[in-house]
Amino acid sequence: RTFDPIIFADGGAGVIDVTVDNFEIDGNNDGGSNTFCGFLFRNTDPGTISNNDLHSLRGTGQETQGILMYGANTNVTVSGNTVIDFSRNGITAVVNASAAISGNTVTGDGPLALGNWAQNGIEIGYGASGSITGNTVTGCSILDPDWAASGILATDATGTTQINGNNITQNQVNI
């Protein structure tokens, strides 16, 4: 998989401590055909992504992400962010990442027409673990009978993954 992040924090063979706070990330809807994302964190322990506004994260590729935590040795706190204008996931922790996701606002564009990706507001899955608490997620829906969009999606998460105290409304599937 090829990623195209605006801000990329990667510890390489080791791990790094990274904090990104109080940025506006305007993707200018200029993502290429790769996985376009506002933030990509890999091998960051600890990492903090807080109080950022991310928008206009669309592009020619269908799979755009607001905030993506990917891979082992990734332990990130994500709080107080606003994510809009994405095509796939607002906030994502996958492939053995660990994330504490709290107090964020994620707004989808739904209901989306056929031919679009089903949006998910927040996703933890594919070997990742963590918590999703106190977030507001709205507007993730699609008019495709073969797919469903979700406010919060937990797929093949490992360890202890907690989901509680969130305001999840107007999504095709809330959790």
Q: What integer pLDDT is reported at residue 2 of this predicted model?
A: 84
**Residue 121 C-beta-side C-alpha neighbours within 13 Å:** 32
- Please check whether residue 78 is in contact with residue 100, taking contact to mean a CB–CB distance below 8 angstroms: yes
Helices (H), the chain: none
Please list the rounded mean pLDDT of every run of 10 residues in the chain (175 residues): 90 91 94 87 95 91 89 94 96 95 97 91 96 98 94 92 96 95
Q: What integer pLDDT is reported at residue 35 of this predicted model?
A: 87
Q: Which residues contact 124 (CB under 8 A, 6 or more apart)?
A: 92, 93, 94, 99, 101, 130, 132, 153, 154, 157, 161
Q: What integer pLDDT is reported at residue 19 of this predicted model?
A: 97
Q: What integer pLDDT is reported at residue 85 of this predicted model?
A: 93
- Please check whether residue 161 is in contact with residue 129, taking contact to mean a CB–CB distance below 8 angstroms: yes
Rounded to two decimals, the pTM is: 0.96
User: In terms of residues, how long is the chain?
Assistant: 175
Q: What integer pLDDT is reported at residue 159 of this predicted model?
A: 82
Q: What integer pLDDT is reported at residue 31 of this predicted model?
A: 80
The dihedral of CA 95, 58, 67, 135: what is its sign?
negative
State the Cα–Cα distance between residues 5 and 39, nearest whole angstrom. 6
Bridge partners of 3, per DSSP, are 35
